[in-house]
Amino acid sequence: ESVKPAHFIRQIISKDLEAGKNGGRVATRFPPEPNGYLHVGHAKSICLNFSMGEEFGGTCNLRFDDTNPEKESQEYIEAIQRDVSWLGFQWNGEIRYASGYFDQLHDFAVELIKQGKAYVDESTPEEIRTMRGSLTEAGQDSPYRSRSVDDNLQQFERMRNGEFADGAAVLRAKIDMASPNINMRDPVLYRVRRAHHHQTGDKWCIYPMYDYTHCVSDALEEITHSLCTLEFEDHRPLYDWVLDQLDVPCHPQQIEFARLNLNYTITSKRKLKQLVDEQHVDGWDDPRMPTIAGLRRRGYTPASIRNFCEMIGVTKSEGVVDMSMLEFSIRDDLDKSAPRAMCVMQPLKVVIENWQQEEQPLSIAAHPKDESLGVREIFFGKELYIDRTDFEEEPPKGFKRLIPGGEVRLRGAYVIRCDEVIKNEQGEVVELRCSYDDQTLGKNPEGRKVKGVVHWVSAAKALPVEVRLYDRLFNHESPDAAKDGSSFLDHINPDSLTVVERAYAEPSLANARADQPYQFEREGYFVLDGVDSSEGKLVFNRTVTLRDAWAK
Ligand code: ATP
Ligand code: MG
Ligand code: MG
């Protein structure tokens, strides 16, 4: 068990508990908008919210913040649930929907009108934007600001009944047009929008705004600590104002933390959606995507993502996390847990001339340090494949693998010697004639040292497989914020996918599953692609290389 660092949110919650705040209760929530798939940034928020619930013996709700029906869908709702569960978290009771509170939100809005704290504004959206001013420009009162309570009640009722065209009227809170915080300059609470809602159907033609919905939803669910990202810091006065006006069961404390930014990728659902819609990638779960679905298909484990989130910590200051930290966390997990297997990417045929028998089955440990993972069966025989890069006719200095007349050990099998090099008409090496030393199975040869060990497969028993090698999706450190005014689309790495159409894998991989990563010895970590594999055609995705190829 690692010692969890006492980040500032842990400290706040601990103090609140010591002080007996909220009756000793901790309740958090993760509130995604179902307008896309979750990405690694959301994982940070998920880990934070659910782990605070768990660690303090409390609860964490999963709530869909579904106030923009046109951008949302059931597909996203299901994908989000799948991803949260896969990460290993369990939400408290039923799934919640902000739309489940539409009746209460409406009644609270009527209550605000009755208190003289909200009014119907029939100005155009453009006029309202102008009247709210800017950081340097004061706000101006709307001509509708002084409407009577009765008039407002009537007009709001008309909004609800569909008597205004979309955009023709809004309900605004009456707060302070002179506030230095623009969020407090009479923000919009409700708008008219004739849109079918995935949960409430055609019941409503007015929809509440995020800021109004969020705080009320938190309060109705009796959330104690409402954790959100820093961009909502300026919205906190509004969060508190709304709850101060209303008779709600609880007034949650909003606490902001820095969002996760990862270099060489983007963490914005809108932009990720653009990559999908414009087919720059092969769907939300493309293994190059920083989505949870993409990471899963790529071979990331839930533990690696949770450890990554713990490692990057929770602070108030924005920074950019290096992609190599995410890669470190998956290597760290898989080094310990992934069974080993052999797969030859660039096959070079090796004929063992002094081998006269049938294929010989050999038993080899699935993991060098963990016996509990058992053994696998490989086959030695007359025809083998090794990787083309493991043979050099004219070896550079220090080359420890196979050379003409030289010896190398085949992992888990014998030492072989290269006796003859066969070339085609173009002078390319197409085959090696070798001999094996039958005294070297699991033993060093007598009287000489063989340093190199290479991976290999039996040609007769190998499975032909497709292997997909991924590189970073972007070749710019901050594709989103390049200083030259370029778009993130200008920085897509054209070489982010290399397909090896025919690699040869050891036969034990016939039973590979999409949720069981392997280390392909000397090549990296790989997992079966659960989408494109079929019985006749296995496809493997490279999760990550063995070492950080980007480290200088
Ligand atoms: P995006 O900009 O990608 O659409 P969002 O904040 O609009 O993100 P939501 O669905 O509203 O997406 O996010 C749900 C929760 O996840 C929010 O509490 C949000 O603050 C948090 N979250 C989103 N992105 C990040 C991130 N990069 N790092 C940490 N938390 C995040
Ligand atoms: Mg949001
Ligand atoms: Mg968003």
| Cα–ligand 2 centroid distance for 28 (angstroms) | 16
Nearest ligand to the C-alpha atom of residue 38: 1
Q: Is the CB of 229 under 6 A from ligand 1?
A: yes
User: Which residue, chain included where needed, has tokens 């009527």?
Assistant: 110
User: Which residue, chain included where needed, has tokens 């030259």?
Assistant: 484
Mean pLDDT of the chain, nearest integer: 96
Q: At what angle do helices 323-337 and 302-312 cross, to 10 degrees?
A: 140
Question: Mean pLDDT, to the nearest integer, of 361-368?
Answer: 96
Contacts of 181 (CB under 8 A, 6+ apart): 234, 237
CB 262 within 8 A of CB 321: yes
Which H or E element spans position 132?
helix 125-132
Q: Candidates 37, 42, 217: which one to mutate for ligand 1, based on the most atoms within 8 Å of Cβ?
A: 42
For residue 49, the ligand 1 atom closest to its alpha carbon is 18
260 is in an annotated binding site: yes
Question: Mean pLDDT, to the nearest integer, of 304-310?
Answer: 97
63-107 tens-digit pLDDT: 999 999 999 999 999 999 999 999 999 999 999 999 999 999 999
Q: Transcribe 259-319 into DSSP letters.
A: PPEETTS---HHHHHHHHHTTSSSSTT-TTSSBHHHHHHHT--HHHHHHHHHHH---SS--
Domain boundaries, the chain: 8-257, 262-339+465-544, 342-462
- Per-residue pLDDT band for 4 (boundaries 50, 70, 90) equals low
> In the CATH scheme, what is the code of domain 342-462?
2.40.240.10
Q: Whose CA is closest to 53, among 25, 81, 32, 33?
A: 25
Q: What is the pLDDT of residue 549?
A: 60
- Per-residue pLDDT band for 121 (boundaries 50, 70, 90) equals very high
Question: Mean pLDDT, to the nearest integer, of 486-505?
Answer: 96
Q: Is the CB of 517 under 6 A from ligand 1?
A: no
Nearest ligand to the C-alpha atom of residue 272: 1
Q: What is the pLDDT of residue 442?
A: 87
φ/ψ of residue 330, rounded to 5: -80, -40
Take atom 26 of ligand 1 and give the residue whose Cα is closest. Answer: 41
Q: What is the pLDDT of residue 550?
A: 53
- Per-residue pLDDT band for 1 (boundaries 50, 70, 90) equals very low
CB 427 within 8 A of CB 344: no
CA-to-CA separations, 372 to 192, 342, 365, 451, 508, in angstroms, rounded: 62, 19, 10, 28, 17
| Cα–ligand 2 centroid distance for 18 (angstroms) | 32
- Per-residue pLDDT band for 552 (boundaries 50, 70, 90) equals very low
| Cα–ligand 2 centroid distance for 32 (angstroms) | 7
Q: What is the pLDDT of residue 536?
A: 87
Q: Distance between CA 529 and CA 515 in Å, rounded?
A: 9
User: Which residue, chain included where needed, has tokens 């919650």?
Assistant: 13
Tokens of 29: 């929530």
Look at residue 353 and tell me whether its pLDDT is greater than 90: yes
Q: So what's the ipTM on this one?
A: 0.96
Give me the active site residues, please: 33, 259, 269
| Cα–ligand 1 centroid distance for 269 (angstroms) | 8
Tokens of 124: 């155009």
Look at residue 359 and tell me whether its pLDDT is greater than 60: yes
Question: Mean pLDDT, to the nearest integer, of 502-512?
Answer: 97
Q: Which residues are registered as beta bridge partners of 320?
A: 261
Strand 407-410 relative to strand 415-423, pairing: antiparallel
User: Which residue, chain included where needed, has tokens 């709600």?
Assistant: 248
Look at residue 35 and tell me whether its pLDDT is greater than 70: yes
Q: Distance between CA 49 and CA 58 in Å, rounded?
A: 11
Q: Distance between CA 328 and CA 311 in Å, rounded?
A: 11
Q: Tell me the percentage of the chain whose pLDDT exceeds 70.
A: 98
> In the CATH scheme, what is the code of domain 262-339+465-544?
1.10.1160.10
Nearest ligand to the C-alpha atom of residue 32: 1
Residues 8-257, CATH architecture: 3-Layer(aba) Sandwich (3.40)
Q: Distance between CA 544 and CA 439 in Å, rounded?
A: 36
Q: What is the dihedral of CA 488, 319, 32, 47, to 10 degrees?
A: 130
Q: What is the pLDDT of residue 3?
A: 60
Q: Distance between CA 54 and CA 52 in Å, rounded?
A: 5
Q: What is the pLDDT of residue 55?
A: 96
pTM: 0.95
Q: Whose CA is closest to 77, among 97, 100, 55, 105?
A: 97
Q: Is the CB of 31 under 6 A from ligand 1?
A: yes
417 is in an annotated binding site: no
CA-to-CA separations, 415 to 66, 320, 408, in angstroms, rounded: 64, 48, 6
| Cα–ligand 1 centroid distance for 389 (angstroms) | 45
35 is in an annotated binding site: yes
Q: Distance between CA 233 and CA 424 in Å, rounded?
A: 69
| Within this chain, domains 262-339+465-544 and 342-462 share the same CATH topology | no
- Per-residue pLDDT band for 283 (boundaries 50, 70, 90) equals very high
Q: Distance between CA 516 and CA 215 in Å, rounded?
A: 41
φ/ψ of residue 385, rounded to 5: -120, 135
Look at residue 421 and tell me whether its pLDDT is greater than 80: yes
Q: What is the pLDDT of residue 481?
A: 83
Amino acid at 259: R
Take atom 10 of ligand 1 and give the residue whose Cα is closest. Answer: 32
34 is in an annotated binding site: yes
Q: What is the pLDDT of residue 459?
A: 98
Please report the sign of the dihedral spanned by the C-alpha atoms of residue 400, residue 401, residue 405, residue 408: positive
Q: Candidates 37, 38, 45, 274: which one to mutate for ligand 1, based on the most atoms within 8 Å of Cβ?
A: 45
Look at residue 483 and tell me whether its pLDDT is greater than 90: no
Amino acid at 137: E
Look at residue 551 and tell me whether its pLDDT is greater than 80: no
User: Which residue, chain included where needed, has tokens 């096959």?
Assistant: 347
229 is in an annotated binding site: yes
Q: Distance between CA 181 and CA 185 in Å, rounded?
A: 7
Amino acid at 243: L
Stronger pLDDT, 551 or 86, i.e. the higher one: 86
Helix (H, G, I), strand (E, B) or coil at 3: coil
CB 474 within 8 A of CB 264: yes
Q: Is the CB of 68 under 6 A from ligand 1?
A: no
123-181 tens-digit pLDDT: 999 999 999 999 999 999 999 999 999 999 999 999 999 999 999 999 999 999 999 99
CB 415 within 8 A of CB 440: yes
